[in-house]
Every structure is written in structure tokens, then in C-alpha cells.
A = this chain, B = another copy of it.
Amino acid sequence: MFDTVNIAVMGHGVVGSGVVEVINNHSQSIAKKAKKEICVKHILDLRDFPDLPYSNLFTKDFKDISNDDSVKIVVEVMGGIHPAFEFVKECLEKGKSVVTSNKELVAAHGAELLKIAGENNVNFLFEASVGGGIPVLRPIAQCLAANDLYEVYGILNGTTNFILTKMIKENMPFDEALKLAQQLGYAEREPSADIDGHDACRKICILASISFGKHVYPEQVKTEGIRNITLDDIAYAASADRVIKLIGHAKLMEDGKISASVCPALISRDNQLSSVEDVFNAVMVRGDAIGDVMFYGRGAGKLPTASAVVADVIDCAKHLQARKYLSWDEGEDDYVVPAETVKSRYYIRAGVENLEAAKEEVQSIFGDVAYLSRENSKGELAFITSLETEGKLYSKIDELKELKNVSVLHVLD
């Protein structure tokens, strides 16, 4: 009753197998929505999958996909930049729409690939690259189109949010929480991409690019992970009615440049993000007309991510000609201002021997600060500074003599 659209899936890992599963399990409702029958014709993977009901669809040769003119939509869920970039580029140039969940690829080459897609009158969609299954990019691009957006930030990585939640709610030390996340399959055996903030960095790059119209590259974003957060920090934050979350953040400055960062930050319990727990993600967007809007849900996982990929496939199938609502300009070297020039308040914790002398020193260097307290905090001092640039903060920290082993976190107001 409907025409058929052939698609190919490149990569049969967690997300790729989920994509095939979602398409097979929802074939009727998907056909009704797409007004087309969606048929998986090829699956590209270097591994063998001999025992699947669809084992006959596998190929190890990309040319089987790129040279098949009957394939109109290609799903790229291989991950990594090479050869994903070359494959995606070739598909777009051959007039195939591409859907990807590959944040690394989009964060590195989004503007370029969107341009190629536009020139070839096809779609390049990547809703699943940020927030997994949570609708974020399309709502920002379409529903908030009548706004001038000026800030976007959020909890963009489920693994680190799970770990921080365990630390906050169960007083579990970082190492133990990480081990638990690995046991539950939330963290990789080599967890650096999550723990050190690189995954969140790619996502804030994509969010900033789509919100402000110019590409932001991962190298431009100062990125800090959560390895150094201790239960003491959690306790001090709690005493100020705050929690520590890993926040990706981008903000439009008055001169049209932007600030962008990924770092753990103390956020107020009044902020909606403070109650986003476990592996959930949330993205807050601020616009001149709409005020604050937040999108919340599971930021990762096989089926949530696959369902976002398939929704993009449905959209492509309905609009095989380019829709072009997604596009942004190439970035520039000085588009993101240096982190040292960005103003923030800071949480500082340090070891002290002479408490009175230390407080005098803090007063003379930082002026009035808000001291925090926790149980058994002997030999230690923690406080929140007033607003200053990161550059100035670190030069002040260099002046400190009474405070040792200083650790610093951002405070998000």
C-alpha cells in the first residue's frame, strides 16, 4: 500500500542492532507515519553475524551501499571519525540522506557535512547525537526558531551523572561508583571519554553550533572531568544547598562571540537540573521570548538512541528532498573566548594549618567570601568567591601562602 524506501545501516553495534530492532518491531506504525515502507537492505560491519534472522543483509564492503542507487537513506552508527567521515561524505555526494548518532563526527565535521548535504539536496540528521533519545536538536532548530537563543547548558553525560548521583545520595566514593557504573554497563572499561568530559564536550559543541549558528569545535572548549571530585566536596556543596553536576555550558557574549566549557559545577537545588539523577540527561535552553526550556530523559542506551535514529529516518523518508532546517556556518579561530576571560563564582577548598591566618589571607586576597562547613572539617577551609574571571582567580590562588592543596570548582548561578 505504501512505496518502499531502502535504507542501509553502517555499524551493527549496540545502536545499530537497536535500529534494526526498532524498525522491525514498529514496522506498521512507522509505515503509517512515514507514508513509506522502510526496508533495511544492507548492513555494513566487519564482523560476522551468522545467526540473525537478517544475516543475509550483511556486507563488509562499503561500495555495496554507496553504489546501490536504490538506497536513499544511510544510517551511520559506526562511531569514530574515520572512516565514518569519508563514508558519510560519499553517501551525501551520491544523493543519499544520512542519519547518524555519531557525536564525535558531528562535533568535528558538522558544518562541512551539512553544507555537502545542502548542495546535494539531501538531509543530514543527527538528533541522536545529543541526549540519546531525548528530542533536543529538532525542537531547538524548529520550535524555538522565533527566539534569539543566548544560553544552552545541561547534564549531557549519563555515566558521570550516575556516578555523581551515587556520591551525592549514597555517599559512595568516586572509585567505587565508577566500578559500579562499569559493572552495570554504563561506563566503558576505559572510561576516559565519559569521566574526563570528552563526550559531554562533543555534545555541547553540537548544541552551541545549532543554537548560535556557528560551528564550535571540541578543541575550543575547555574540558574538565569529575575524577577529582571527593565526598568532601559533595558535603560542602550540600551545606550550601547545592549539588555537584558535570555541566556542559555555552553562552552568547555581547560581542557575538561565545563562551563554552565542560566542567563539574556546584548548582543550586532550586535549579531544575539539580534533580536530574542517575543516567538521565537534561538540556536547558534560554531564549529571549521563551525564557527557560528544559528537555529531560535518557541520554543514552540502545533503544532510546535507536528510536531517535529511526525518527530521523522516518523524517528523511517523508522528505527525500532536503529540508535544510539544520545548518550552521563554519567556525572561526577566535569565536570561542579564552576560558581565562570568562567570569564565574568559584568554590575553593584547601588545607590550612592556622585557621585564623588563613581566613585573614582569604579576606585580603578574595575580599568577602561565603564560607562552607561540613562535619569533621578540621584542617580545611572551603568557601565560595564572588564573581571573577578564571584568569584572575588563578593569579589570586598563586598568591595564597596559608592555603595548601587548593582545589577549585565552578559555581553555576
Q: Which residues of A contact B (CB under 8 A)?
A: 22-23, 26, 29-30, 33-35, 127, 133-135, 138-139, 142-148, 272, 275-276, 287-298, 301, 303-304, 306-311, 313-315, 318, 323-325
Contacts and interface: CB of A to CB of B under 8 A. Distances in A.
B144 A135 contact: yes
A311 B143 CA distance: 5
Given A135-B139, A294-B297, A297-B294, A289 B146 contact: no
The residue in A287, A293, A306 that gathers the most chain B C-beta atoms within 10 A of its C-beta is A293
Contact of A307 (B22, B289, B294, B309): B289
A274 to B, nearest CB: 8
Contacts of A135: 135, 139, 142-144, 293
Contacts of A23: 146
Contacts of A294: 294-297
B297 A291 contact: yes
A316 to B, nearest CB: 12
A261 B309 CA distance: 33
User: 9 closest A-B pairs (Cβ-Cβ)?
Assistant: A135-B143, A146-B310, A289-B307, A135-B139, A293-B297, A294-B296, A289-B303, A133-B290, A146-B307
Contacts of A306: 146, 289
Given A142-B315, A294-B297, A133 B307 contact: no
A184 to B, nearest CB: 16
Contacts of A145: 30, 33-34, 310-311, 314-315
Contacts of A143: 127, 135, 138-139, 308, 311
Contact of A290 (B30, B276, B298, B314): B298
A134 B285 CA distance: 11
Nearest to A140: B135
A110 B6 CA distance: 34
A212 to B, nearest CB: 11
Given A272-B296, A289-B304, 19 more contacts: A22-B146, A26-B146, A29-B148, A34-B145, A127-B143, A135-B142, A135-B143, A138-B139, A142-B311, A143-B308, A144-B307, A146-B307, A146-B310, A146-B313, A275-B275, A292-B297, A293-B297, A293-B298, A294-B295
Contacts of A275: 272, 275
